[in-house]
Structure formats: C-alpha cells, structure tokens
Amino acid sequence: MGKDEKLIFWELNEINFEYVSYYISEGKLPNWKNFIKSHGLFTTIADEKYNQLEPWIQWPTIRTGLTFDEHNVFRLGDIVDSELKQHWEVLESKGYNVAAISPINASNNTKNSSFWIPDPWVETEISGNSFIRRFSKALKQTVNDNSQKKISLSSVFAILECLITRSKWSSWQVYLSSIYGAIKKQHWSKAIFLDRMLADLFLNLWKKNQPDFSVLFLNSGAHIQHHYMCNSPFYTGTSTNPKWYISNKKDPLLEILEMYDSFLNEIQNLSNTRLMIAVGLRQVPFEKPNFYWRLKNHDEFLIKLGIEFKKTLPRMTRDFLIEFETSKEALQAEKILKKIKSKFGDLIFGEVDNRGKNLFVSLTFSEEITDSFSIFIDELEFKDFKEDVSFVAIKNGHHHNLGYFLDSSRSPSIQNAEIPVQKIYSYVMNHFGI
C-alpha cells in the first residue's frame, strides 16, 4: 500500500470560479475563501476542439490520463463498451479499496468496490448493498423523468429511506427550503436537493467504509449555471431570462454555491484525508438564451414517424440513443430524422450520429415551441409537436476549455501555469506512489 491518507476526489462539474471569487468578495462562501487562500486555485486547459468540450468527454480524460484523440469516448455511454482503464480500476488492481457516486460517463468494472453508484444516464454495474441498488435505480428514474415531473412510488420510498437513514440533520434546512422552492416552481430547487442528498449519502457511506480512493460527481451547479447564469449579479452580458422563467430577484447560482460551501467544510473535517477538486470545464454566456427541449416519450415519437427500432435509451436532457436490429433500419431512421425541420427550415435533430446498429440523437432545436408548432418531413406535416416534448430550461451558457483544480496538499505558490486536464490523472496515481 502507498500513503495511509485517504484520497477523496470531488468532481465538481463546470463551476466558474470567477463567480465564486465575486461572491467571496461580497463576504459570502467563507469555506471556499479559506480553502483557496490556503491551497491555491489552479487553472486547467483542455486542448480539444469545441465539439469535444463536453463533460462526458473531459471526465474520461481526467480519469484515464488520455486525451480525446487517445480515448475516443465521444458520446455519453460510450465508456461502457470501451476497454479503457480508469483510475479506480487501476488502483483496485493494486490492492486499494475504491468507491464512487454518480461519476458522469463512467463504467464500473471494479471487482470489490464498497459502493459504486452509476450516473443516471449510463448503463453499468452497481456495487453495494440492497439499499444502494434501490437508491441507484431511483436516482436513474427520477433524473431521466424529471422534465415530465414523473417519480415512481419505489423511487419515493428509496429517496425517503436515504433522507431518513443517511442524511445529516444539518442538511434539513436545505431539504425543506428546496421542497418549498419546488412547490413554488423554482426548478433549480430540485437540483440543489439532489446534490445535497448525494453529498449526504457520500459522507455516510464514506464514514462506514473509508475507501482508499473515492469519487463524488456533483452536477447541479453546472445545471444551474447553464440555465440561470444571467441572474447572477456578477453577470455583465446583455442577455436576460424572461420573467415567466425566473424572477430577476432570484440568484440560484449563489444558492447552490452556498450549499457546496457547507459541504466543503464537512468533507474537510473527515479525518486522515486528502481532498482533490477538479472542474473539467467552465462556461461562457450565450449572446441570447437557448431553449432546451426533451422528448416526452421517445418510443411513441419514433412510432409516430414510422421508424422501426429495437430500443431507445434516453441520455442527458435532449440526447437519446436508438438501437436497431439491423444497420439498414438504422440508416433508414437516420434519413428520416435528418429531414425533420420546422416550417422555417431549422433542423429539429441537428445531431444524428450513425454507429451501425444504433443512432445517437440530439434534439438541437433551440427556439420557443408554441402550441401550434408543426414539424415537417419534406412536405409531410406533423402537427402539435408541443405535445411530444417537455420544456427543460433556457440555457444561458456554453462550454469553454478552461477549468480548475484544487488540492488540500498544495500551497498557492506551487504552480501558476495552466495544467493540461489529462495530467490530473497522474496526481491521483502519485498520491498512491504509482
């Protein structure tokens, strides 16, 4: 074995630390302030092309130490069919106990992980006891059906079990305020609730199992920043969110950062631990907000279009995978989907990636969809497209190749240059003398 000190890796997706710095200057986020003052804030850089600046590409880069050109993981879910060795698998093969909660686009090929909960969009193994398996299934169902506001009875019971048996009492202020916010149709409140619950579950499972290396991925900050960046007082652009979407008096970004600030304090208080925090990408504002839509029922929509298929697998927000019996069926479906347009000629599905017997599809249309909205395949009209989709959110920001890295074993003076994002893998390995 290498170091006795346990390593916790917090994968904090797409947080802009210039916003964190702004709130610190306003007297908020005291734990972030102290951590940055003591250990520094280092910037990372991803050298990929713009269409490769996606979290489901960058996190496999961090976990394998390979650039996109080396790992070729391009779509959410691709990691499962690859033979890539991720850091937790390498470490487990060396005798270390590893664990993870919701790491985006990750496969679980561990043999004896004390707990391993997949992200909601990837079909891979679950590791852990019966509760972990129930909770993992509930997480998948609630996140994938969030835009339709559906939650199954079994998911409700699993979430309640988690809250009652695994949460911290100090978190209940966040839970109750999030529930109240959700009732008031503050959609970001559900995202804050989710990350607080995952953070509590991580702390609970970590204390019981104390793995040598553990990973926690939290995505709600990225989600909130994507959709409510314009509401931060630090935002200086010209875009605004409509009043029906959010009051200009609300600042969801501050709310999630304050929750992360509390969690940062809690995780630092764990004994005999080293904490690494990585932010693979950051965001920059759009010139105008983009609408995000998601199909309500992927199977029903494809049947309406006359597309023959084997299975659909919904992915994050607007993406989904379609599996076919033959490559001929996939090709026929590709031709149909690439023809679907609005009456103004805008493509509805701007990304259709043919991979032989499956298609990876993105609903890229980003304008408002009204009650009378129709879509067309050549001259054939399909009315009431609004009935086929759920409004997800308005997107304020898009991806940028700069990210951030923080480490409780560093000091501010160690390094000032930008760190290639793939180098973070070596920091993890070096901790264990590998």
At 1 the pLDDT is 40
Give yes or no for residue 147 having a pLDDT over 70. Answer: no
**Cβ partners under 8 Å of residue 190, min gap 6:** 146, 178, 182
The mean pLDDT value of the chain amounts to 92
Residue 370 pLDDT class (50, 70, 90 cuts): confident
> How many CA atoms lie within 13 Å of 97's alpha carbon, on the beta-carbon side?
13
Instruction: Report the chain's terminal Cα–Cα distance, integer Å.
Output: 10
Q: Domain 6-281+401-431, CATH 3.40.720.10 — does that match? A: yes
Contact criterion met (CB below 8 Å) for 41 and 89: no
At 190 the pLDDT is 94
Give yes or no for residue 288 having a pLDDT over 90. Answer: no
- For 308-340, the pLDDT digits (tens) are 999 999 987 889 999 999 999 999 999 999 999
Give yes or no for residue 364 having a pLDDT over 60. Answer: yes
At 2 the pLDDT is 44
Give yes or no for residue 181 having a pLDDT over 90. Answer: yes
Residue 414 pLDDT class (50, 70, 90 cuts): low
Output the pTM of the full model.
Answer: 0.84
At 146 the pLDDT is 66
Residue 423 pLDDT class (50, 70, 90 cuts): very high
Percent of the chain surpassing pLDDT 70: 97
Q: Please list the alpha-helical segments (H only) found in 65-129.
A: 68-71, 87-93
Q: Which stretch of 7-21, 30-44, 250-264, 281-295 has the lowest confidence by average pLDDT?
A: 281-295
- For 80-115, the pLDDT digits (tens) are 989 899 999 999 999 999 999 999 999 999 999 999
Give yes or no for residue 213 having a pLDDT over 80. Answer: yes
At 241 the pLDDT is 86
- For 382-409, the pLDDT digits (tens) are 999 999 999 888 888 888 899 999 999 9
